[in-house]
Structure 1
């Protein structure tokens, strides 16, 4: 799922590419979405790129390629391009022999290791989670990872991450962080003075820094289930 603004921007870029063969400028995107600054467009573009909907081409101005479109948006004749090295669509984790000692957790959507917080309110399947992952107590939920921005932390595309609901985090924790009440992302949390740095575990992605009142922690990583 995408936030409304992410979907609106993707649709705007797609229509311009279909019409003119070139993507719109950041100023045109800002005006089309009625945003006050281009920084908001940058965050939306980054989220769409992390989730695999678009790809920015290096060393070319205004070079944005649409890789895929969400269900219901694809126009007739649209054929999604495949990113080299992309993984196949993962399947839900199957219960293991120890499922009797496991708990069923709802998989509340996908997170691009950016996911819209709206996706974390509608379960689309369940996964059996070993009880030892949940020994910290509290409420837990699961998300399916889409993307490679946390790959050097051992979190791969298609993994199921298990999170304990919490509004606080320590430096170095991997968290689901809600940015400006609009975009949620799985990143390493670090507080630097009055700012929050959200670090990817992949050098291809920049660390993003926000004022602390722009970020709310939604959950802390406590475990991971890998699909093969």
Structure 2
């Protein structure tokens, strides 16, 4: 059997998931349950997880999934109707008045070194993980590359940006792609095909297009989004 606070937290998480599809933050849970600190929220979540009522989604910050409800729970929202014995009543949860933050749902994707937005350089120099708001990504597998150079500046892609790339080996003309050149070097460019050749176009008049044979260029992904840090 769950304690009153565990029951309140489980119901609050379920309601928020039904309303927005995003689990509440620890701060929102703390306020909703009138707890003094977030450590109390951590303890409640751990207890619910151990008992099989919720689980934490991997590679997502604070993302929770409700697996089941207590046997005495119903699908109807909690009401404020008084009961005969107040000690046996689960108090209704006060929903916070702040809007859910879209960035609450965060996914970690592989960060593969630096990629040139100018002259091709070796890509995939190593791997770490980069936390990215899920709202920036669509379906499919993604990875990130740190941009080096200024040849895509007119497309709004700056040196030091993080290119969020959807992994694919196909792309349409005019799309910005990660192109692997001669199996060893990678670059971020507009993809064009003409006269049986592959042209990689920069977005900076100071750079010339790069033209290769069709067997010299392999599409490794196409641009899905950008992250920029301001120092």
TM-score normalised to the size of structure 1?
A: 0.53
Q: How does 1:33-44 map to 2 (within 5 A)?
A: none
Give the deviation of 1:127 after TM superposition. 2.2
Give the deviation of 1:115 after TM superposition. 3.1
Measure, in 2, the Cα distance between the counterparts of 1:154 and 1:118: 23
Measure, in 2, the Cα distance between the counterparts of 1:155 and 1:118: 19
1:128 aligns with 2:131: yes
User: Residues 119-164 of structure 1, C-alpha deviation per residue, up to 9 Å, x if partnerless?
Assistant: 2xx213x3221212222x1110001111101000000011111000
Runs of 4+ in 1 over 6 A off after TM superposition: none
Measure, in 2, the Cα distance between the counterparts of 1:167 and 1:202: 25
1:107 aligns with 2:80: no
SS of the residue 1:117 aligns to: coil
SS of the residue 2:215 aligns to: helix
8 A Cα contact 2:113 2:124, kept in partner: no
SS of the residue 2:107 aligns to: strand
Q: How does 1:14-25 map to 2 (within 5 A)?
A: none
Measure, in 1, the Cα distance between the counterparts of 2:160 and 2:124: 20
- 2:177 maps to 175
Give the deviation of 1:200 after TM superposition. 0.6
Aligned length: 128
Q: How does 1:24-63 map to 2 (within 5 A)?
A: none
SS of the residue 1:149 aligns to: coil
Where in structure 1 are there 5+ consecutive unaligned residues? 1-96
8 A Cα contact 2:115 2:121, kept in partner: yes
Q: How does 1:156-171 map to 2 (within 5 A)?
A: 156-171=158-173
What is the alpha-carbon root mean square deviation over aligned residues?
Answer: 1.4
8 A Cα contact 2:176 2:188, kept in partner: yes
User: Residues 160-219 of structure 1, C-alpha deviation per residue, up to 9 Å, x if partnerless?
Assistant: 110001001101110110111121111110111311100011111100111111100001
User: Residues 68-119 of structure 1, C-alpha deviation per residue, up to 9 Å, x if partnerless?
Assistant: xxxxxxxxxxxxxxxxxxxxxxxxxxxxx65431211121100111331342
Rg (Cα) greater in structure: 2
Where in structure 2 are there 5+ consecutive unaligned residues? 1-100
